Amino acid sequence: MHFYPTFFRLVFSGMDAERAHRIGFALIRAIDRTPVGWGLRRFCAPDASLATTAFGVEFPSPFGLAAGFDKAGKGVLSLTVLGFGHVEIGTITGQAQPGNPAPRLFRLVEDRAVINRMGFNNDGAAAVAPRLRSARQRLARRYGARRPVVGVNIGKTKKVDIADAVADYLVSARELAPVADYLVVNVSSPNTPGLRLLQSVESLRPLLEAVRTTADDAAGRHVPLLVKIAPDLTDQDLDDVGALALDLGLDGIVATNTTITRENLTTDAATVMAKGVGGLSGAPLKARSLEVLTRLRAAVGDRLALVSVGGVETPEDVIERLEAGATLVQGYTAFLYEGPFWARRINRGLARSRAA
């Protein structure tokens, strides 16, 4: 099953990264529509021992796919076939937008990392909502009570002024909360100008309060609400966000997004600089992501769910995050390097660990 790294090196490594992503994602969706998809679903299904509860929602595995891979909600069923316990869609904005000019996605193969400045390219909340409604209904038919979970990550439309950000987020909350198992407010992408300013407690409080009220009203139920933060926050900032999340009664924190730093890279500095600005993800983020998780767990105790993401590649990485206090763990960049059976390998490693 570990033939994929060789396949990646021969087929995808020399191809434009965004084109390779489109081709790979299209193949995953195509396979799901064939009898092979049925076989894969059985082959990759997480062991029953991995069932996990977070913020009142049942997950078939604590390991899921982070936001960024499926930006439009077009491949939820296909991705869950591969064994992910949940798939987080997005980032979705109130209005459709093309994102930043290409090229905007770059691999650092030596570092098993990616730099992206995609810029929240997506079809907009109104277009994505019916797709997710259909996907959740079909997941329920396929899997029954143990179906994979669908999260929705929402962000700010680029052309909307930062002063009008709250109203823009509310557009997404109204459309998407009714079709989401949980909702994540993304204030930490480095690729939307001014977005990270919303991470300050003064800006974050009214935003989260408004999204929570709007989401619950639109859905007619409580929709678990989380906030996604950057790894570049100071320790004091992390403590403040943790305190705010507790004060507001949020359901959790997703930590972390990509980083704007370029530290601890094997790739030569000139090559890295030539890629330009953007968020760095992958293996170089591992240590900082774990530090943030540990700091947040100490700050919030057992009162919040923490979703750890950043530099996760192996079953041992997932186990380490869970032991450090993560409720759920997500990955993305390693999926590009490890291929379609990555989630299965993670789940099998977790099951072996729990059986030991």
- 49: DSSP letter: G
Distances in Å between the Cα of 350 and the Cα atoms of 3, 54, 62, 98 are: 21, 17, 9, 38
Closest CA to 310 of 340, 333, 327: 333
Q: Which two tokens stand for residue 116?
A: 């992206």
Kindly name the residue from 61, 172, 189, 289 that is annotated as catalytic: 189
181 Cβ neighbours under 8 A, 6+ residues apart: 57, 86, 136, 149, 150, 151, 224
Contact of 228 with 73, CB cutoff 8 Å: no
Is 281 noted as a catalytic residue in this protein?
no
C-alpha span between 221 and 137 (Å, rounded)? 17
Phi, psi of 20 (to 5 degrees): -60, -40
- 267: DSSP letter: S
Distances in Å between the Cα of 105 and the Cα atoms of 51, 66, 143, 278 are: 34, 17, 34, 9
| Residues designated as active site | 189
